[in-house]
Amino acid sequence: MKTQKNHLARLDQKYLWHPFTQMQDWLKREPIVIVSGKGATLRDANGKDYLDANSSIWTNLHGHQHPAITSAIQRQLGRIAHSSALGLANEPAALLAEKLVGAARLPQPDLKGNPKLEKVFLSDNGSTAMEVALKLAYEYARRSGLSKNPKFLSLEGAYHGDTVGAVSLGHIDLFHKAYGGLLFRSDKIPAPYCYRCPFNKAKPQRADAREYVQCKRECVGLAEKAFSVQRKKGNPYAGFVFEPLMQGAAGMIPQPKGYLRDVAEIARSNGAQLIADEVMTGFGRTGVGEGRATKAPPLFASHQEGVQPDFMALAKGLTGGYLPMAATLTTQRVFDAFLGKYEEFKTFFHGHSFTGNQLGAAAALASMEILQSPKSIQERRNLETTLRKQLQPLWSVSQIGDMRQVGLVAGIELVKNWQTKEPFALRERAGIRVCEAMAKRGVLTRPIGNVIVLMPPYCTTASEVVRMVSTLGESVRQVFGKGEL
Ligand SMILES: *Cc1c(COP(=O)(O)O)cnc(C)c1O
């Protein structure tokens, strides 16, 4: 038995306040203190190794201490760490903007009205990237005469960050209700959550609900209705805000194939701008899709549905998960709406001290180069296949109700009984207990309510995936007792 608490754990508990954490629980037990990381592994102050099964909260792409990113940051540090983007340009930021615009080109713009993303506004985090998109879309709608009082529509369960504007676009009561008085109103439509969809007539099966759902795509119909009702009110929605292919913080809610393409087309035909929150999904997280290994696959989830948004918010994986940086991409049209003589004051009055930070931009450039290499593409393809294969045996665990994988991310939903889909009450802390059991066995991830997230770094080896998934299975069995089918 260890008797002495780690010095750093003590300081942490004495002084720090952790995000999204009930600090009363935090103070009850000694926290894991991370001191280093390499590849998909994190090491704590006692020398114990863990697999980083959620990529350090969805940020890390290529693993820790990747030599190319580390040396890119070091090289940049040898020149300058930061100078202001207010009034000054710099090399890595300019190169990064070019690289992002190139990566965000839609190869086959087959959806009518798909625009080009040509301008990049840099900031520091995902919430801010969304806040920028929101402000730009709002002002663009007013200046272009689309609406005097722009309104936004987003999906149920949406999470777009924690700043007041981003929270206003979100619909997670647990996080957002308390701040109701600070927020502006935005509307929502049901998310296509096949597993718990009220229109799904199918009995639960031992498969991803998207594969056996029986419905008439009522979710698309409801989207159509929402847009047309709002248009008839004489104030069409200025923007449709969405996490493409998979909603993250909502509980890893995937969209059935074709959903985004159809709803995007409906939104467009009603005059709404498309605001894609690719903070979690961007940079290859949703998979490389079909096709030859060396062909450059789309890096963004929207593009997998043939959708090019008017605004694209990027953060988490932008720097490979090494430094805080974010970007909001938009169109020439939006950019032009902010041009004018100085004294017209059409300027976009928004910015941050660390906008265009050189260290972040250098890391991002290195990360994008890795992403576009044939080796990384092949690695991601293999990882997706391995993860899919390894998850299959978990269908024999009766407390697993749904497993939904999109590319390199999977949500595993815990239930009391797979046949009735009865959920655990939040106060039972089912997800938290399973993740604690996993941590004891050397695998770190964080639940979203009753959903366990597996989101391995792209460098994760097949044997590491096997460990992540088998540890999850063992932990569920240990926490709930044997529940074999
Ligand atoms: C994490 C996240 C955000 C917020 O990003 P931060 O960098 O944490 O502010 C916004 N949208 C989505 C979809 C996210 O997953």
- Cβ(170)–Cβ(135) below 8 Å: no
Distance in Å, CA 278 to ligand 1 centroid: 9
* Pocket of ligand 1 contains residue 328 by CB under 6 Å: no
| Strand ranges across the sheet with 49-52 | 34-38, 41-44, 49-52, 443-444
User: Which of 55, 155, 160, 285 for mutating ligand 1's site (highest number of atoms within 8 Å of CB)?
Assistant: 160
3-state secondary structure of 185: coil
How far is the C-alpha of 340 from the C-alpha of 313, rounded, in Å?
25
What is the predicted pLDDT for the residue at 152? Answer: 98
Residue ranges of the chain with per-residue pLDDT less than 70: 1-3, 108-112, 291-294, 482-485
pLDDT tens readout for residues 282-338: 999 999 987 655 578 899 999 999 999 999 999 999 999 999 999 999 999 999 999
Distance in Å, CA 341 to ligand 1 centroid: 35
What is the predicted pLDDT for the residue at 181? Answer: 92
Nearest atom of ligand 1 to the alpha carbon of 315:
7
- Cβ(286)–Cβ(256) below 8 Å: no
Which value, to the nearest 10 degrees, does the dihedral of the CA atoms of residues 61, 278, 107, 338 take?
-130
Pairing type for strands 49-52 and 443-444 reads parallel
Query: What are 349's two structure tokens?
Result: 């009055």
* Pocket of ligand 1 contains residue 124 by CB under 6 Å: no
Residue for token digits 């209705």? 225
Burial class (CB in 10 A: 0-12, 13-18, 19+), 14: exposed
Distance in Å, CA 367 to ligand 1 centroid: 19
The dihedrals phi and psi of 381, each to the nearest 5 degrees, come to -60, -45
User: Which of 125, 132, 316 for mutating ligand 1's site (highest number of atoms within 8 Å of CB)?
Assistant: 316
Residue for token digits 């991409």? 329
pLDDT tens readout for residues 122-145: 999 999 999 999 999 999 999 999
Assign a CATH topology to domain 76-372: Aspartate Aminotransferase; domain 2 (3.40.640)
* Pocket of ligand 1 contains residue 127 by CB under 6 Å: yes
What is the predicted pLDDT for the residue at 468? Answer: 98
What is the predicted pLDDT for the residue at 295? Answer: 72
Q: What's the pTM value of the predicted model, to 2 decimals?
A: 0.97
What is the predicted pLDDT for the residue at 173? Answer: 86
What is the predicted pLDDT for the residue at 178? Answer: 87
Distance in Å, CA 248 to ligand 1 centroid: 9
* Pocket of ligand 1 contains residue 126 by CB under 6 Å: yes
The dihedrals phi and psi of 121, each to the nearest 5 degrees, come to -110, 120
* Pocket of ligand 1 contains residue 209 by CB under 6 Å: no
* Pocket of ligand 1 contains residue 384 by CB under 6 Å: no
What is the predicted pLDDT for the residue at 400? Answer: 97
Where residue 234 falls (left for φ over 0; alpha for ψ -120 to 50; beta otherwise) is left
Assign a CATH topology to domain 32-65+377-480: Aspartate Aminotransferase, domain 1 (3.90.1150)
Other CB atoms within 10 Å distance of the CB of residue 23? 11
C-beta pairs of 37-43 under 8 Å, 24+ apart in sequence: 37/64, 37/65, 38/63, 38/64, 38/65, 39/63, 39/64, 39/65, 39/457, 39/459, 39/460, 40/64, 40/456, 40/457, 40/459, 40/460, 40/461, 40/464, 42/444
* Pocket of ligand 1 contains residue 242 by CB under 6 Å: no
Residue for token digits 């978990």? 394
Nearest atom of ligand 1 to the alpha carbon of 324:
7
What is the predicted pLDDT for the residue at 296? Answer: 81
Task: Give the start-to-end residue ranges of the domains of the chain.
Answer: 32-65+377-480, 76-372
Query: What are 296's two structure tokens?
Result: 């450059």
Distance in Å, CA 4 to ligand 1 centroid: 37
Distance in Å, CA 247 to ligand 1 centroid: 11
Using CA atoms, how far residue 81 sits from 256, 301, 445, in Å, is 44, 32, 32
User: Which of 279, 312, 352 for mutating ligand 1's site (highest number of atoms within 8 Å of CB)?
Assistant: 279
- Cβ(362)–Cβ(89) below 8 Å: no
* Pocket of ligand 1 contains residue 131 by CB under 6 Å: no
Residue for token digits 């003589």? 341
How far is the C-alpha of 69 from the C-alpha of 405, rounded, in Å?
28
* Pocket of ligand 1 contains residue 277 by CB under 6 Å: yes
* Pocket of ligand 1 contains residue 243 by CB under 6 Å: yes
Nearest atom of ligand 1 to the alpha carbon of 249:
15
The residue among 267, 221, 222 whose CA lies nearest residue 240 is 267
What is the predicted pLDDT for the residue at 148? Answer: 93
pLDDT tens readout for residues 411-420: 999 999 999 9
Taking CA atoms only, the protein residue closest to ligand 1 atom 11 is 160
What is the predicted pLDDT for the residue at 289? Answer: 80
Distance in Å, CA 255 to ligand 1 centroid: 19
How far is the C-alpha of 459 from the C-alpha of 462, rounded, in Å?
10
CB within 8 Å of 317: residues ≥ 6 apart:
58, 59, 60, 61, 282, 283, 284, 285, 367
How far is the C-alpha of 98 from the C-alpha of 382, rounded, in Å?
29
